[in-house]
Structure 1
Amino acid sequence: MPHLPARALILAIGGLLAGAAMAAECVVPAKPGGGMDLTCKLARSGLEAAAGAGSRGIDPALRIRYLPGGIGAVAWNSVVSQQRADAEALVVYSGGSLLNLAQGKYGKATEQDVRWVAALGADYGMIAVRSDSPWRTLDELLRALKRNPAKVTIGGGGTLGSQDWLKLAIIGKQAGIVPRSLRFVAFEGGGESFTALLAGHVQAVSGDVSEAALHAADGRIRVLAVLSDERLPGVLAGVPTAREQGFPISWPIIRGVYMGPDVSDAAYRKWVAAFDAAMKADGFDRLRAAHGLYPFAMTGDALTRHVARTVREYRAQADAFGLVR
């Protein structure tokens, strides 16, 4: 990936931050501690590092605001109803947001109702248990679920039909389990799911790698499978993929930010240019890895087309389970 001269980066991103009058915000549509939170922090750190805005890792021009509720619906509705033209409000999305759109969980909303700014990286699904769990492999967990699904509680973000439910349902179906028999406990996001797992309120978590990596490093959880085509580098390098264990599923999750539908073209393009510059800057790859994400960079029109295609694919997957409203 080509690198821009340092002066050009500082002018492009510094001009954006100055124009935002130090009031730009990144909205996390979940509680602190999960993948959505990490995405905002990566956006802030990436823009700051590229602009050379200090060494504290906090850019006052991109403050973080938490707006949980409805697995992203509250933040979505806030933007499309109250901040339609707000050029200083970025909202985090993930593959789960796109799946909710595909299933009609945001009402009549479609992917065309907002402006897609940037995808900063990719995450992947995973299945985890506590480190003291009796299940050491994905197959062992699935056998327990098949014997008596009511005795195994699985935590995840969202309710029936969420991406955490759906990826487990796909694996379960491959193992001969009736997906709707799974005892799934819904949480607002990955942070809550892992808190419940560590407290013993659930026995397993269907979630994302970025969230799991925060807990796996200190040995408190055991990740049974990552839902990627190949093993992932970093703290989870020793974890086998679901494919290796006989379950052919991959679940990549792009993470990024969007804006309101009536944001001016000039303001929208300025943010697109800022993220283009940030993601091409020296050091961004390390920042992304430090926030638990893997390479994936896309902005503007190309991202808008990618989102539309992904929503269509998710709708087909959800329809196969009778989930589309």
Structure 2
Amino acid sequence: MKLASLKHGRDGQLVVVSKDLSTYVSAADVAPTLQAALDTWADSEAKLKAIYDDLEAGKISGTAFDPVACDAPLPRAYHWVDGSAYVTHVELVRKARGADLPDSFWTDPLVYMGASDAFIGPRDDIEVQSEDWGIDMEAEVAVITDDVPAGTSVEKARDHIKLIGILNDVSLRNLIPGELAKQFGFYQSKPWTAFSPVFVTPDELGDAWDGTKVSLPLHVVLNGTTIGKPNAGVDMTFDFTQLINHVAKSRSLEAGTVIGSGTVSNKGSKEGSCCLAEVRCLETIADGKPTTPFMSFGDRVEIDMFDAQGQTIFGRIDQKVVQYTPE
């Protein structure tokens, strides 16, 4: 099953989308928004699936689906947790600046709580005031949960994963060092986060989903040139069940919690990067300095994931970097 939210108010209008992303039908009779559906998932899932099955069987006709009309599938969420599950990425970044990686990073997940009051759609512009801030993409996979009780085990965590998507977690790299120096986490360096046109139920991924992670390449293209296409199932030190177990250690998670994997990265692969910071780190290690610039106004970034037949699963994130001028 594939679900999207058309732009409508702050929380979007929930629709059910065909498998090939060509058509959609309204889900208003089941739930007005995705958050409302997740709040009653035990009841709404079967009803949404019935609509999806009828759409696929041709029993109901749909309207042409246009990703430009889409907001993020969950336009605003109560809880957004972003991890750094690919520790090889963290290791590389620290190596480039001559810093050691603490041993605990391999055994204890690294996560932070991000801004979730306004996610943006897959075709929305990346608005930034200054190129000097170091504009970078970060391609990730995310899961969306139902209600997760505090203390949920790794084994039981997989039962709480209800939807899966991909995202662009934009980072302003030149603002990060000053924020981390305060030892209180990211804030100004993490602006808008964009999501794929649709979220899908795990069964849509077939054998590429083992209940804990997605084993497919995540493609990142900048201005028509491939930056990387690492396999999201490789080098994921902490899978999604481990991330859920970690963040639910001392508190429950409400339905609609979004958990990101962090930048997907494959160690030792020429196509293993999903962000420019990692490309620059590799250049620094090899040549003593980076040569690839961060993104500029007018740049276009595309992020996508394909099934075994070469068909997009979540739809393409396709964004342009533009200058934002405060009123």
Higher helix share: 1
TM-score by length of 2: 0.28
Higher relative contact order (CA 8 A, sep 6+): 1
